[in-house]
Amino acid sequence: MNRVAINREQGRARISRHIYGHFSEHLGRCIYDGFWVGPDSPIPNTRGIRNDVVAALKHIRIPNLRWPGGCFADEYHWKDGIGPQEDRPKMINTHWGGVTEDNSFGTHEFLDLCEQLGCDPYICGNVGSGTVQELSQWVEYINLEGTSPMTELRKKNGRADPWDVKFWGIGNESWGCGGNMTPEFYADNYRRYAVYARNYGNSSLYKIACGPSNDDYNWTRVVMSKTCGERGNLLNGLSLHYYTVPGEWAHKGSATEFTEDEWLITMRKAYHMDELISKHGAIMDEFDPARKVGLVVDEWGTWFDVEPGTNPGFLYQQSSLRDALVAAIHFNIFNNHAERVQMANIAQTINVLQSVILTEGRNIVLTPTYHAFDMFKVHHDAVKLPVFTESEPVAVGFGSIPAISASASIDDEDRVHVSLTNIDPVKEQKVNLELRGIPLKSVSGQILSSANMQDHNSFDNPEKVKLRSFTDAVISHSTVTVTLPSKSVVTLEIL
Ligand code: AHR
């Protein structure tokens, strides 16, 4: 039997809605075909941005969107993407397929997209191949209200008011595609670039330093030691990138054709996020004991082999029920680390890696991962209720992983939400939810599951995996007994 104990009195930290953020790069068909079809497209759009995509992302209350990369960010020069479309220079997207980037989607289009979505923009600046002045002027162009060469340029390009963008990344993967830097060299550069990314008006920027890849704990230590000190912190967030890759880098595995073993290995690797956050978090605690600096997991998700027949540089993959379980495991981990994790961004929103939306011409498919985001939106900005979880083990290789994971929160209307996963590919799991200090009048819920591990939504069958209401939760005194079918995600609302 599995056990999850929740005590209302222990609610302290808020789960930032920004944990449910997204990432969109100039990569494959994420921006072009995904968000952007251009104003002359027959596909319904508002100033070139797809209406169906905006509606779908608003439904899951997308809180922020990271752009323009990824590796692309460190070769992107923002001035190429402003002004009349016909004057914008073309470039080669060397990282991603060597295709021509015509810069038709630039700063104004991205910020229009965020306004249509009602979400916060998160812009990643170019440190690898850009100058301090370039980044400084980008912030000025976007955020300054007064008169300056940059604001005059912005006005000439049709935008009178500043946008007031808060979230700024100072480089991406500076240890790799963003400049191949050592942590020492990057940290010194971070300090320099960050100084000139100015605060304008009353708002102050939330500056995110490039953090580690996976378990590079030395990177975290060096960057934290050089940016946090007695005289205050020079950063607001430190990024972490970790992808769930079931196989080797050269043969990552198929997104939709996999065995039970591969399912379990994928789950084990998804659970690894917990260890990464705990260990990087412990190093951050040494330099920032008050936990003011957020761990910003601004790239996470599954990474499989591309769909057969597609451009290997476009990273296009399908997304099955397995991806939804991976997402739900991550959400539970992020919720449970709400004191340190202030933001996270799945890679990537549309048509790339673990997408929530796939497009093909005018058609759109919502993936199982989309539905996981939908189920977890109840936790946005709610107060985390710590969970004590005891789980049955599921054997993987020579070890085992927990069958269930859980997280819980209470919102401003006093509604308690509990999210549970059962990664067991064959067996249902019974969970005893022990609720302390929580009146138990009713319980309702939603479930995401399907008959087969590999089930996914396609353009021919877009609703194969969808949300259903969940009724297998029984109240008895202060306990709710929940029967989780194999390979399922459940979110309960307890009133
Ligand atoms: O998301 C794809 C790529 O993965 C990003 O561009 C890069 O930051 C990471 O290596």
- Contact predicate 264/425, CB 8 Å: yes
Per-residue pLDDT tens over the stretch 310-350: 999 999 999 999 999 999 999 999 999 999 999 999 999 99
Q: In angstroms, how far is CA 194 from the centroid of its own chain?
A: 23
The whole-number pLDDT of residue 314 equals 97
Give residue 432 CA to ligand 1 midpoint distance, Å: 40
The whole-number pLDDT of residue 202 equals 83
Q: Which atom of ligand 1 is nearest to the CA of 178?
A: 8
Q: Is the pLDDT of residue 478 over 90?
A: no
| Ligand 1 pocket: which of 96, 124, 177, 297 to mutate (most atoms within 8 A of CB) | 177
**Average pLDDT, rounded, for the chain:** 97
Which one is catalytic: 134, 299, 390, 392? 299
| Ligand 1 pocket: which of 27, 299, 304 to mutate (most atoms within 8 A of CB) | 299
Q: Which atom of ligand 1 is nearest to the CA of 347?
A: 1
What average pLDDT does the segment 228-251 reach?
93
Q: Which backbone phi and psi does 287 adopt, to 5 degrees?
A: -100, -20
Give residue 73 CA to ligand 1 midpoint distance, Å: 10
How many residues are listed for the chain in this entry? Answer: 495
Give residue 38 CA to ligand 1 midpoint distance, Å: 25
Regarding pTM above 0.85, the answer is yes
3-state secondary structure of 467: strand
Give residue 65 CA to ligand 1 midpoint distance, Å: 15
CA-nearest residue for atom 8, ligand 1, is 70
Bridge partners, 206 (sequence order): 167
CA-nearest residue for atom 2, ligand 1, is 70
The whole-number pLDDT of residue 253 equals 97
| Ligand 1 pocket: which of 22, 67, 71 to mutate (most atoms within 8 A of CB) | 71
Give residue 416 CA to ligand 1 midpoint distance, Å: 36
Q: Which atom of ligand 1 is nearest to the CA of 72?
A: 6
CA-nearest residue for atom 1, ligand 1, is 347
What average pLDDT does the segment 466-470 reach?
98
CA-nearest residue for atom 9, ligand 1, is 70
CA-nearest residue for atom 7, ligand 1, is 70
The whole-number pLDDT of residue 24 equals 98
| Ligand 1 pocket: which of 122, 127, 241, 298 to mutate (most atoms within 8 A of CB) | 241
Q: Is the pLDDT of residue 1 over 90?
A: no
- Contact predicate 430/480, CB 8 Å: no
The whole-number pLDDT of residue 477 equals 87
Give residue 70 CA to ligand 1 midpoint distance, Å: 5
Per-residue pLDDT tens over the stretch 13-39: 999 999 999 999 999 999 999 999 999
Per-residue pLDDT tens over the stretch 123-139: 999 999 999 999 999 99
pLDDT-derived band of residue 231, with 50, 70 and 90 as boundaries? Answer: confident
| Ligand 1 pocket: which of 25, 76, 122, 213 to mutate (most atoms within 8 A of CB) | 25
pLDDT-derived band of residue 72, with 50, 70 and 90 as boundaries? Answer: very high
Q: Is the pLDDT of residue 246 over 90?
A: yes
H runs (alpha helix) in 312-430: 321-336, 368-376
Packing angle of the helix pair 321-336, 368-376 (nearest 10 deg):
30
Tell me whether residue 173 is one of the annotated catalytic residues. yes
The whole-number pLDDT of residue 37 equals 98
The whole-number pLDDT of residue 354 equals 98
What average pLDDT does the segment 216-220 reach?
98
Q: Which atom of ligand 1 is nearest to the CA of 299?
A: 1
Return the exposure string of 364-374: e unless at least 16 CB atoms fall within 10 Å of the residue's CB, then b: bbbbbbbbbbb
Give residue 24 CA to ligand 1 midpoint distance, Å: 10
Return the CA Rg of the chain: 22
Bridge partners, 443 (sequence order): 494
Q: Which atom of ligand 1 is nearest to the CA of 96?
A: 6
**Across 8-156, where does the E strand assignment appear?**
21-23, 45-46, 49-50, 64-67, 91-93, 99-101, 120-125
Which one is catalytic: 173, 260, 307, 360? 173
pLDDT-derived band of residue 218, with 50, 70 and 90 as boundaries? Answer: very high
Tell me whether residue 339 is one of the annotated catalytic residues. no
CA-nearest residue for atom 4, ligand 1, is 70
Rounded Cα distance between 76 and 191, Å, is: 21
Per-residue pLDDT tens over the stretch 270-290: 999 999 999 999 999 999 999
The whole-number pLDDT of residue 398 equals 87
Give residue 362 CA to ligand 1 midpoint distance, Å: 27
Give residue 443 CA to ligand 1 midpoint distance, Å: 41
Q: Which atom of ligand 1 is nearest to the CA of 173?
A: 8
**Across 355-487, where does the E strand assignment appear?**
357-360, 363-366, 383-385, 387-390, 393-396, 399-402, 404-410, 416-422, 429-436, 443-448, 467-470, 473-476, 479-484
Give residue 421 CA to ligand 1 midpoint distance, Å: 27
Q: Is the pLDDT of residue 229 over 90?
A: no
Q: Which atom of ligand 1 is nearest to the CA of 176?
A: 10
The whole-number pLDDT of residue 232 equals 83
Share above pLDDT 90 across residues of the chain, in percent, rounded to a whole number = 97
CA-nearest residue for atom 5, ligand 1, is 70
Q: Give the pocket of ligand 1 (CB within 6 Å).
A: 25, 69-71, 172-173, 299, 347-348, 353
3-state secondary structure of 352: coil
